[in-house]
Structure 1
Amino acid sequence: MAESEDSADEQEAPAKRGMGLIGWGITAALALGLGGGAFFAMHSGLADGLLHAEEAPPVKEGTETARESYLELDPLMISVGGAQSVKQLRFRAFLQLADDSQTDVAALQPRILDIFATYLRAVSVDRLEDPTGLLHLRAQLLRRVQLLAGRDAVKDLLIIDFVIA
């Protein structure tokens, strides 16, 4: 008889349930709403006052920072490949210079062209034709120019023409 009373109590007691489908739906909707609102506040700048962000000083128009200048190097035509190969490389580039070093680097142009020609002749045609090889080649040429002219004088090398025919 005791068993029947215990089983009756178990049947009468409601089963404990979790949040249920509606509870999870409300939780997901709140999370998405709060996340979207926080993103909007951060993206639009509404929360800048809350985070005590310091404002950068406004840039005045008409004031110029250190200007960059470019030096166009004379075009090069270089024979590449072995003795049995009759391939030509047409190469044209610009050097991006610091503003105060333009005359110094322009005076070194014959040496720069000699360094470029010597290096490009030594590189194999397969490496020149490799699509990723141009990045390595550019880095090598820039390093050689910076050793000659000074690291601060030449900022970058811009390859304009690179044609193997």
Structure 2
Amino acid sequence: MTADADVAEDAPRKASKLPLVFGFVLAILGAGGGFYAVQSGVLSGSDSSDAAEKESASETSNTELDVAFVAIDPLVISLPGQGGRDHLRFAAQLEVRPDHAAEVEAIRPRIVDVLNGYLRAIDIASLEDPATLPRLRAQMLRRIQVVTGPGRVDDILIMEFVLS
């Protein structure tokens, strides 16, 4: 019996996990305190960036935005007869810089042609999926920018996109 007791006393003791747990709790508290300090503004770092943001926001609200819109005539595109959906009605406006509005207006038939060709080539299943609208929008914008030239059209705003 004494041999068993000697073996148990000679075995190394397990290391305590208390310092590890204590360090983890301190790290969580430090991260939370740092987050709070930055969000509340105690540690802003640079007051000049906040002042610059406020100044630019006031300039934007005081000055008129330099944007013009060119309306695209509503398009009605016939779809292959599947599932009761026969037509797509599409209307959009192009966001352009005011000095390029006349140029974009002059080539509007070419823009309508590009949109017609693209929308006719799209699969009906992808038209019905709401998640594909941003991708369609990006594709249409890219095609319009190629037709109009660089720097003329900034964005396309979809006013109507109805499958009927």
Q: Which interval holds the TM-score relative to the shorter structure?
A: 0.5 to 0.7
The alpha-carbon distance between structure 1 residues 25 and 134, as it changes in their structure 2 partners (threshold 3 A), is closer
C-alpha deviation, 1:98, in angstroms: 2.1
TM-score, normalisation: structure 2: 0.67
1:55 has 2:48 as partner? yes
Do structure 1's residue 126 and structure 2's residue 147 form an aligned pair? no
Taking the aligned partners of 1:116 and 1:126, their CA distance within structure 2 comes to 18
- Residues 36-47 of structure 1 correspond to what in structure 2 (within 5 A)? 36-47=32-43
State the partner residue of 1:153.
Answer: 152
> Which residue pairs with 2:113 in the alignment?
114
Query: Residues 34, 137 of structure 1: CA spacing in aligned structure 2 closer, same or farther, 3 A cutoff?
Result: closer
Aligned CA-pair RMSD: 3.6
Task: Tell me, yes or no, if structure 1 residue 69 matches structure 2 residue 65.
Answer: no
Q: Report Cα offsets for 1:62-105 as digits up to 9, x if no partner.
A: 653762222221101121227xx981211111111123211111
2-side partners of 1:129 and 1:105: how far apart?
30
Deviation, structure 1 residue 142: 1.2
24 and 65 in structure 1: CA distance in 2 versus 1, 3 angstrom threshold: same
Alpha-carbon spacing, 1:87–1:43, altered in 2? closer, same or farther (3 Å): same
- Gaps in structure 1 of 5+ consecutive residues: 8-15
User: How far off its partner does 1:55 sit?
Assistant: 0.8
State the TM-score, normalized to the length of structure 1: 0.67
Structure 1 pair 38–118 and aligned structure 2 pair: CA distance change class (3 A)? closer
User: Per-residue CA shift, 1:102-158, capped at 9, x if unaligned?
Assistant: 111111111111221122223332332233333332222111110111231111112
Q: Could you list the runs of 5+ residues in structure 2 that have no partner in the other structure?
A: 7-12
CA contact (8 A) 1:80 1:120 kept: no
**Partner of 1:105: helix, strand, or coil?**
helix
Alignment of 1:89-100 (within 5 A): 89-100=88-99
- Structure ID, larger Rg: 1
Identity of aligned residues (%): 36
Q: Which amino acid aligns with 1:152?
A: G
